[in-house]
Amino acid sequence: MLFFHTSKIVEFLYLWGMLKKVLVTGGAGYIGSHTVVELFNAGYEPVLLDDFRNSNESVIDGLSNILGDRPELLKHDVCNTDYLRDYIRKHEVCGIIHFAAYKAVGESVENPLRYYQNNVEGLVSILKMVSENPEIPFVFSSSCTVYGEPQGQKEVSEKTPKTIPTSPYGFTKWLGEKIIDDLFFSQKKLRLMSLRYFNPIGAHSSTQIGELPIGKPNNLLPFITQTAAGLHEKLTIFGDSYPTIDGTCVRDYIHVVDLAEAHVKALDYLINAKDGCHEIVNIGTGNGSSVLQVVNTFEKVNDIKLNYEFGPNRPGDVIEIYANVDYAKKLLGWSAKKTINDAVKDAWNWEKSIRSIK
């Protein structure tokens, strides 16, 4: 019967609880691991595909503590198309969420081929599976980096024109969306969604999983928490004379658990979609916060004094951007619930737990 795989049969099996495996590439990473938890909470069976090149195997222990059981783990490179093909042939997979990618902007400038190979080849490899199994819905991790520096209005909607990002990392996301567009053009029955993330921060409130940067962090929140934990002498705030509320850059910081929930909504939507689509959706809070506001909030919420200084602008930084989230609400019935206070509290509790700080 299953040889005649149609989206109707998949939907039927899903509704009867017989078909719930969701392949999560990069499932041991920061956003991936939080999404694994939310998928599980929603009744799906997340299957992690991760070769731990950019994540730590201890994440699986943290996930097991939250889920009460070890999740299924496929320790393979997403570029291993033959392995993926064999796995999907033997298992009933009702969705694929593709996180596995590198994300350090500076590193991508220094080593572009590493980024093009992993991010583009990885995407093409997993999309081959979608193309060969058109009943499987697919969710892609895109980024607000595709907007570049917004001209005029700082609140960007999905209709705001994209610009070609300056970093190879950013370009892999821009290109990723284009590759998915082109695939959809050739196979109109595919159900696809690109989620444009703004700035994910925070950690699971259990302190079992959180952000685990390898080496010195590039992103703001892990640098803040590591400085508060004594790993760095001080935080450097890159730039204090931008045309913003207080001279520092403005971003839309979203709690990673809210972001994870958005993936569940995205998958639910695609599973129930009657027609093919490539939907593009902003996933943010709709609010902008400056770097200084984040630092002040971290200090206030956690009752900690953070050592920081102002330094030169970071090359390539966007000055100010935040999401218009109307479409996420309309299409997915999703909006962020947690506040930036929740996020900085959870991030610090996570840092304390991994450093054994009381």
Contact residues toward ligand UD1 (CB under 6 A) are 103, 105, 143-145, 167, 170, 199, 218-220, 223, 235-238, 249, 251, 291, 314, 317-318
Q: How far is the CB of 80 from ligand UD1 (least distance, A)?
A: 25
Nearest 5°: phi and psi at 5?
-70, 115
Active site residues: 169
* 65 vs 151, beta carbon nearer ligand UD1: 151
Q: How far is the CB of 48 from ligand UD1 (least distance, A)?
A: 21
Q: Of the candidates 146, 147, 209, which has an alpha carbon nearest to the alpha carbon of residue 174?
A: 146
Where does residue 328 rank: exposed (0-12), middle (13-18), buried (19+ CB within 10 A)?
buried
CA angle 298, 283, 351 (to 5 degrees): 30
Q: How far is the CB of 44 from ligand UD1 (least distance, A)?
A: 25
* 117 vs 226, beta carbon nearer ligand UD1: 226
Nearest 5°: phi and psi at 115?
-75, -45
Q: How far is the CB of 145 from ligand UD1 (least distance, A)?
A: 3
